[in-house]
Amino acid sequence: MESLSSSTSLSRYNQSFSELNPKSRRYIFRNPSRVVPNFVKLHQDPLKTKYLPPRLCVASANGDGFRKSHKGVVEGDGVIIVDHGSRRKESNLMLNEFVVMFKEKTKYPIVEPAHMELAEPSIKDAFDSCVQQGAKRVIVSPFFLFPGRHWNQDIPSLTTEAAKDHPGITYLVTAPLGLHEKLVDVVNERISYCLSHVAGEEDECSVCAGTGKCRLYN
């Protein structure tokens, strides 16, 4: 069998990969029996594909342990969407708007916003609110793109402190958004809208309304 290190094999491999249908290209097999989800895989050169570590979330029993469930959020769960937090009031209010959208879309009964720092409500405030509404398990979802110190250290630490006031309540800090094909559509839609705005075809969006930032510079 010809070595993949040769230029001929590399060209042949890349051509075969590009000819796969879109659904097949979403997955790369680690072995014949397992498929890696497209939000875990790092889309790089097919021959140099790397993977995020398998430990993508931080969990704690904080009491009786997790209930086994494979159905996602269930009755008795509370969800906290946490961002970094800003000194700019308008930025913080946008998280509130997102949480309203998220709650309406998912129909989850307990969803709270939180800011890691610089603004309120804090993670502790949101955790307390979830428990007061009847949550027995709290799921903290970082509204961050990629893993870093805030996800690895700060948010878990703040969540652990918040949970100390509620013995018996389990909690989970999920992975950040990471790489997902739907984010490609979101970024592309944002670019397209801004280009339409500077062309005079669309009004300013809610993100930059009144700032004058969305314009062409010389």
What pLDDT score does 29 carry? 37
What pLDDT score does 60 carry? 61
Would you say 73 and 139 are in contact if contact means Cβ atoms under 8 Å apart? yes
Q: What is the pLDDT of residues 43-81, one digit of tens each?
A: 444 334 343 444 445 556 565 444 444 568 898 999 999
The CA distance from 4 to 46, in Å, is 12
Find the Cα–Cα–Cα–Cα dihedral 132, 133, 138, 143, rounded to 10°: -110
What pLDDT score does 70 carry? 53
Q: How far is CA 20 from CA 23, 25, 45, 123, 170, in A?
A: 8, 6, 15, 44, 43
The helix/strand/coil state of 176 is coil
What pLDDT score does 36 carry? 37
For residues 176-204, average pLDDT? 91
Model pTM score: 0.68
What pLDDT score does 208 carry? 81
